[in-house]
Structure 1
Amino acid sequence: MEAKTIAMSLASNRSLIFPTSPRSSFVPTSRFSRLPLKRACIGVDGFRGSALTRWNPIVPNRRRLVPVRATNSEGSSGLEKVKEYEEWDSWTAKFSGGANIPFLMLQLPQIILNAQNLLAGNNTALSAVPWLGMLTGLLGNLSLLSYFAKKREKEAAIVQTLGVISTHVVLSQLTMAGAMPLPFFVATSAVVTVGIILNALFYFGKLSATLWRLWEDFITVGGLCVLPQVMWSTFVPFVPNSILPGTTAFVIAVVAVFMARTGKLPEEGVKFVQSLSGWTATLMFMWMPVSQMWTNFLSADNIKGLSPITMLLSMMGNGLMLPRALFIRDLMWFTGSIWATLFYGYGNILCLYMSNCTSKLFFAASTIGLISWIGLALWRDSAAHGHNSPLRSLKELVFGS
């Protein structure tokens, strides 16, 4: 009799232990799929498919996950969605890491050519390489390295690290040839060394929050100072050659950072200042195709100096990072990557084709490949997130979920 009473009591309170849910409370795939599953706490007894779970508020001080009731067919469909999400998560990370190959191939020919000229004593040939432009790119890589290290995007951080190192090698060659002033190179080397060490320590959790904030403030001020100066210099001699844009931006940046750190700005303003370093680095890279096309417009003959293979490698490197940026809904990363893919890589290929500097077959293959790749990225992303239309993915990217 006592056993029967206990059994009836358990049956009457069964909903407190294993609460059942109406069909409308099933957890849709899109709700948990916006965060990378490898970073989420999923699984009961090591079963990866148990991401269709929810929190049980009855059990205090214990993270107990209770499965949501579902039929076999719905459970199977949910597991397939989870598997598809995880597969695309893994592939996008691999694509992002694979961008190292075309980006490294972009710098290697220049490094080899510079070394050959240095060995031959032809130092004047290295004067054709603009050290100021290379320095701007290095600062952009360094800022983005900090951005991706903070987001724990390992593959993208490695891409930026290799960009910093390869560009620094080129600058060292220019310094040996006398094309870059030695004091500037020494200062640049110090910043690069400190930056790589601090980012590595931060990524592995070995850096204090105070030092990291100081580094973030430094790259924020540096980025805001360099960007307007580079934009202004593009249009010289149509505008006066002046350092006023950079100086003005430097003062504004210092004031903004000081107000953010001393609590003089509202929360929205503090977040805006914190995001400036990443956006200024992205805008610096976005300005590169504008500068190149402006040069092409002023002197059409200069376009013959562009290599179609170099532009193709640039398009491929930035294009390989598009799926990852879209997948994690990073608007800044996606904006910079799609801009560089379309305007720096493909845009210059189009200019080369219109100037009869490349073949029709090369242009057609580049066009078809680019369209196919972007279409594949949109299609697979929408499928991984359980959307019926790729436009839903773009909407979440721009406006959030």
Structure 2
Amino acid sequence: MEGCLLLKPFPKAPLQKLPPHSHYHPSLPLKQHTLSPPKPIPTPLNFHLYTKNTIPLSHRLKPIKSLNSDLQSPNSNSEKENWDSLTAKFAASANLPFLLLQLPQILLNAQNLLAGNKSALLAVPWLGMLTGLLGNLSLLSYFAKKKEKEAIVVQTLGVISIYVVIAQLAMAEAMPFEYYLVTSAVVLTGLILNFMNYFNFLDAGIWRFWEDFITIGGLSVLPQVMWSTFVPYIPNSVLPGSVAFVMAVAAVVMARMGKLSKEGVQFVGSISGWTATLLFMWMPVSQMWTSYLNPDNIKGLSAFSMLLAMIGNGLMIPRALFIRDLMWFTGATWASFLYGWGNLICMYCLKSISRDFFLAATLGLFVWTGVALWKDTKVYGYNSPLRSLKELIQGT
């Protein structure tokens, strides 16, 4: 066509694909082009990154106050963490009174033994001491399994100190020697197995056997000790312990053979802990019954030991309440109020301690318990301590 310049198209060169998301510069060969990270695509997961880089500061979303009101404030979280740490320190500090708990009684027993006054040791019932010893040993297994270090130390000190008192009672012939030998073997075996299990040196099968042993032993000893406490007002009999032994063996065998439901297996597994707590709880009952029958022997009982028992168990109440451990709370509260304070009541009524001593101990115990309940209610943000106690009982 005239007046038109026909241009011949250049032959098409093969296209080379650029690496994705590269910055191209004509002076660089393709292989030297550097990769840059892809820009984030706004999604619910990375929207904060997208808005930070693309939306002006003045148009960014601000937190909605109505949503913010439902969140727990940092101060309450911090207060709860502080109380958690403090209750653990209280439980650890209970080691001191428990370390000294039986010391006054041990020294008093030693003085009476050296003076040849063996009858004074009859004020300390060997059945009550044996009950407390077995309770401490079983609770040691319970806390060793839960890895509660502070409670493990407390229970170990309890086992050792009560065992020393039992040895003194055996020396004074206030406890049958054959019972003392059996008790010594059980205590030594229990201490070794518990600490081997805590440091993961023990075979699981051996530990299960020990758990079965303390379950059967605790369930057999508890009704027998309770029955024997009131002899001779009731006939002397081994029937309660024998019946309980048969029932305990049957329950353990059925649980191991898978003949029980899941709830039944859990119940059998919790028996040892609860029988330990009940054994420990029966100890003050036995002591007060002995004081009632033999009021003249009350001078052989150390008031300072009772005070230390009250303080040591009282120091563990806030921790047991905070972590919602009903068994621990029940044992600590019972021992503090009935073993410690209850025996002080008996001693005050029999004029073995002064009025000022008794009133000071009473005021301290009730104020401390009230503070523990109030503080637990506050850190959990509740309106009443009944809410904390309800959660404790229900296990929530």
* Match of residue 153, structure 1, among 148, 155, 167: 148
Change (3 A) 1:89 1:236: same
Residue of structure 2 in register with 1:248 after alignment: 243
Residue of structure 1 in register with 2:377 after alignment: 382
* 2:257 maps to 1:265: no
TM-superposed CA distance for 1:177, in Å, is 4.6
Tell me the amino acid that sits aligned with residue 270 of structure 2.
S
What secondary structure is seen at the aligned counterpart in 1 of 2:73?
Answer: helix
TM-superposed CA distance for 1:212, in Å, is 1.1
* 2:212 maps to 1:212: no
- Please give the per-residue CA displacement for 1:244-303, whole angstroms capped at 9, x wherever unaligned: 111111111111111111111111111111111111111112222333444455565555
Greater Cα radius of gyration, structure 1 or 2: 2
**Take 2:183 and 2:295, find their aligned partners in 1: how far apart are those partners?**
34
Residue of structure 2 in register with 1:130 after alignment: 125
TM-superposed CA distance for 1:80, in Å, is 2.1
Residue of structure 2 in register with 1:363 after alignment: 358
* Match of residue 10, structure 1, among 33, 41, 46: 41
Residue of structure 2 in register with 1:227 after alignment: 222
Tell me the amino acid that sits aligned with residue 249 of structure 2.
V
* 2:371 maps to 1:340: no
Residue of structure 2 in register with 1:393 after alignment: 388
**Take 1:121 and 1:300, find their aligned partners in 2: how far apart are those partners?**
21
**Take 1:126 and 1:304, find their aligned partners in 2: how far apart are those partners?**
10
TM-superposed CA distance for 1:119, in Å, is 4.9
Residue of structure 2 in register with 1:238 after alignment: 233
**Take 1:178 and 1:136, find their aligned partners in 2: how far apart are those partners?**
18
TM-superposed CA distance for 1:195, in Å, is 1.1
Equivalent residue runs for 1:44-59 within 5 Å: none
TM-superposed CA distance for 1:181, in Å, is 4.4
**Take 1:359 and 1:127, find their aligned partners in 2: how far apart are those partners?**
23
TM-superposed CA distance for 1:210, in Å, is 1.2
What are structure 1's unaligned runs of at least 5 residues?
A: 21-68
Equivalent residue runs for 1:161-310 within 5 Å: 161-298=156-293, 306-310=301-305
Residue of structure 2 in register with 1:320 after alignment: 315
What secondary structure is seen at the aligned counterpart in 1 of 2:45?
Answer: helix
**Take 2:183 and 2:74, find their aligned partners in 1: how far apart are those partners?**
51
- Please give the per-residue CA displacement for 1:366-393, whole angstroms capped at 9, x wherever unaligned: 2221221011111221222233332221
What secondary structure is seen at the aligned counterpart in 1 of 2:386?
Answer: helix
**Take 1:195 and 1:70, find their aligned partners in 2: how far apart are those partners?**
59
Tell me the amino acid that sits aligned with residue 45 of structure 2.
L
What are structure 2's unaligned runs of at least 5 residues?
A: 1-19, 23-36, 50-62
* Match of residue 329, structure 1, among 320, 324, 333: 324
**Take 1:217 and 1:373, find their aligned partners in 2: how far apart are those partners?**
37
**Take 1:304 and 1:118, find their aligned partners in 2: how far apart are those partners?**
15
Change (3 A) 1:370 1:258: same
Residue of structure 1 in register with 2:14 after alignment: none
Change (3 A) 1:304 1:111: closer
Residue of structure 2 in register with 1:32 after alignment: none
Tell me the amino acid that sits aligned with residue 80 of structure 1.
N
**Take 1:91 and 1:120, find their aligned partners in 2: how far apart are those partners?**
45
**Take 1:352 and 1:167, find their aligned partners in 2: how far apart are those partners?**
21
- Please give the per-residue CA displacement for 1:73-117, whole angstroms capped at 9, x wherever unaligned: 879963322321221112111211222222232311222234445
Change (3 A) 1:19 1:243: farther
Change (3 A) 1:302 1:348: same
Identity among equivalent positions (%) equals 64
The alignment's TM-score, normalised by the length of structure 1, stands at 0.77
Change (3 A) 1:10 1:334: same
Change (3 A) 1:19 1:74: farther
TM-superposed CA distance for 1:231, in Å, is 0.9
TM-superposed CA distance for 1:229, in Å, is 0.7
**Take 1:304 and 1:122, find their aligned partners in 2: how far apart are those partners?**
13
- Please give the per-residue CA displacement for 1:24-46, whole angstroms capped at 9, x wherever unaligned: xxxxxxxxxxxxxxxxxxxxxxx
Residue of structure 1 in register with 2:10 after alignment: none
- Please give the per-residue CA displacement for 1:126-147, whole angstroms capped at 9, x wherever unaligned: 5654333322221111000001
TM-superposed CA distance for 1:163, in Å, is 1.0
The answer (yes or no) to whether the contact 2:91–2:319 under 8 Å persists in 1 is: yes
Residue of structure 2 in register with 1:44 after alignment: none
**Take 2:213 and 2:83, find their aligned partners in 1: how far apart are those partners?**
36
Tell me the amino acid that sits aligned with residue 259 of structure 1.
M
Tell me the amino acid that sits aligned with residue 210 of structure 2.
W
TM-superposed CA distance for 1:336, in Å, is 1.4
**Take 2:314 and 2:134, find their aligned partners in 1: how far apart are those partners?**
22
**Take 1:348 and 1:129, find their aligned partners in 2: how far apart are those partners?**
12
TM-superposed CA distance for 1:124, in Å, is 6.0
> Which deviates more, 363-372 or 256-265?
363-372
